[in-house]
Amino acid sequence: MLKKTSPGDLYLSIQDLWKAFGEFLALRDISLDINEGEFICFLGPSGCGKTTLLRAIAGLDLQTKGTVMQDGKDVSNLPPSERDFGIVFQSYALFPNLTIEKNIAFGLENTGRSKSEIAVRVAELLNLVGLPDQGSKYPAQLSGGQQQRIALARAIATNPGLLLLDEPLSALDAKVRVHLRHEIKELQRKLGVTTVMVTHDQEEALAMADRIVVMNHGVIEQVGTPTEIYRHPSNLFVADFIGAMNQLPAVAGDAETLELGGSILKCEPHSLQKGNRIVAAVRPEDIIPHGEGARSPDAPDVITTPENAFEVLITEMEFLGSFWRCRLSHQIFGAKELIGDFSINAVRRLGLEAGGQMMIELPRNRLMAFTPAEEG
């Protein structure tokens, strides 16, 4: 395929896209730009519309309204066969009665390629996905992971400008999944093909995507790089959906503070109205454990340094292999407990144990303020 664009240029542009199933709105006013060569993940809980959006891009289920521009061309109303994409499904959808070679060659036939050209291309693709000598087998004779690689090879055989992956790893074992996601990412980088993957697995999205599109209830909640999404979630849904997040009811202070159970804490800058009810949020792994020694010797009751620090009670400790998960309580949390993940090192160094006291710090650049969910 001859492309007009080069890496980094705008390749796929979705504007004001709506999808209605009867009364139900599956996609609501979606606009999104995807650049050439990017790896994009649609991430969200089931029913959020991510697969619907993918199928609209493919033309498999047309959107009700809105435009899809691909490579500078309006493809909004084109059937799948007139668009330029390869697709891999969760079920692999390999043709069971055709050998692996025939499966991969399926899209290469009737394209003006000679038989020998096709054979060469098939061998090349089998090499690319690391299954060079499996060509004469039938799909049922391969493992799930191998089948998915064949499905991938079949999808990229014709060098499509866009690769669509619909939960490609969901049907696989955890170990195979981790291994294969690395391979897919590698392959995508090597080929430089613009890729959109749908997943409900945040770890997968964080590991693979250049940018993640977080969706919920048919709308895009946030678009950003994995670190942006993780570090600076734009709302409580994203904060809660990606990774673990402690949530405590609080009141907004001025632009860089919030009030938690009567204490004023420094936090990430926010634009919330002072005095409003808000949610203070911090990730378990961002809580910094301090030993007793961090307490100021001059005034033992008041903790001056570090800022945002207080003494908590460890109510419970759970060993999770690579770290300890601790439940921490303090009067300013109210009835809620804070969850803190501490390294094994820290636990040993500070001598932490259930029922004991410890000092923690909620770092100001990791403590976030969000509008509560009901209003969002």
* Binding-site member from 96, 132, 192, 334 for another protein (CB under 8 A): 96
- Say if CB 190 and CB 37 are below 8 A apart: no
Minimum CB separation of residue 185 from another protein in Å reads 21
- Work out how close the CB of 265 gets to another protein at its nearest, in angstroms, rounded to a whole number: 30
Residue number, 76 or 257, with CB nearest to another protein: 76
154 near another protein, rule: CB under 8 A: yes
Binding mask 218-257 for another protein (x = CB under 8 A): xx--------------------------------------
Which residues, 156 to 195, sit near another protein by CB under 8 A?
A: 157-158, 160
What number of chain residues touch another protein (CB under 8 A)? 48
Q: Does 62 engage in binding with another protein (CB under 8 A)?
A: yes
Judged by CB under 8 A, the residue of 37, 44, 49, 86 near another protein is 86
- Cα separation, 162 vs 88, whole angstroms: 11
Smaller CB separation from another protein, 162 or 309: 162
CA dist 199 → 26, 213, 214, 226, 231 (Å):
17, 10, 10, 14, 20
Strands, sheet with 246-252, edge to edge from the N-terminal-most edge strand: 263-266, 257-260, 246-252, 277-282, 368-370
DSSP code per residue over 228-297: HHHHS-SSHHHHHHSS--EEEEEEE-STTEEEETTEEEE-S---PPTT-EEEEEE-GGGPEEE-GGGS-S
Q: Is 58 near another protein (CB under 8 A)?
A: yes
* Residue 95 sits in the site that holds another protein (CB under 8 A): yes
Identify the bridge partners of residue 258 per DSSP, sorted by sequence position.
252, 265
Minimum distance from residue 68 beta carbon to another protein (Å): 9
What DSSP letter does each residue of 42-56 carry, written as one string? EE-STTSSHHHHHHH
Share of the chain residues as helix, strand and coil, in percent rounded to the nearest 5: 25, 30, 40
42, 208 Cβ separation under 8 angstroms: no
Residue span binding another protein (CB under 8 A) among the ranges 38-46, 88-96, 263-271, 292-300: 88-96
H helices within 60-105, ranges in order?
A: 100-105
In the complex, minimum distance from the CB of residue 368 to another protein, in angstroms, rounded to a whole number: 21
Footprint (CB under 8 A) of another protein, residues 337-366 = none
Is 118 an interacting residue with respect to another protein (CB under 8 A)? no
Query: Regarding beta strands 24-35 and 194-199, do their DSSP bridges make them parallel or antiparallel, or are they unpaired?
Result: unpaired
Which residue lies nearer to another protein by CB, 89 or 230?
A: 89
Binding site for another protein (CB under 8 A): 16, 18, 20, 25, 28-29, 58-60, 62-66, 76-83, 85-87, 89, 91, 93, 95-98, 106-107, 109-111, 138-141, 154-155, 157-158, 160, 218-219
